[in-house]
Amino acid sequence: MVVGVGFGFPLWYPAPYYYYPPPVVVSRTPVTYIERREVARASTDWWYYCQQSSSYYPYVKTCPGGWQKVEPAPQ
C-alpha cells in the first residue's frame, strides 16, 4: 500500500523553454547562374585581305588580284 499527499501537480516537469537551445538557422546564398552565349557572327563580320599588297581593306581600296575573305583575328 502506498500513501502520498498530492498537491495537484506532478513531481516531474519538462525543462522550461529557456533551457532548450535555440534552433539553428542555416541560410544559404542563392545560386547565381551565368549564361555564356557565343555570339553568332554576322555575314558582314569578315576581313578582306589583298595578297599583292599584303594589306587589309579599308587600308587598301583596290586589289588587282581580288580580295581574300578571312575570319577576323584578335590583335
Q: What is the pTM of this model?
A: 0.39
Are 10 and 30 spatial neighbours (Cβ–Cβ below 8 Å)? Answer: no
What value does the mean pLDDT take over residues 5-32?
A: 73
Whole-angstrom distance, CA of residue 74 vs CA of residue 59: 17
pLDDT value for 67: 92
Closest CA to 70 of 37, 38, 51: 51
- The whole-number average pLDDT for the span 39-58 is 79
Cell of residue 31, nine digits: 545560386
Domain limits, the chain: 44-75
Q: For residue 21, what pLDDT is reported?
A: 76
Q: Which of 24-28, 38-42, 68-72 is the least confident region?
A: 38-42
Collapsed DSSP state (helix, strand, coil) of residue 17: helix
**What is the average pLDDT across 16-28?**
78
User: Does residue 50 carry a pLDDT above 90?
Assistant: yes
Q: Let me know: does 42 contact 71? Beta carbons within 8 Å.
A: no
Phi, psi at residue 25, to the nearest 5°? -105, 120
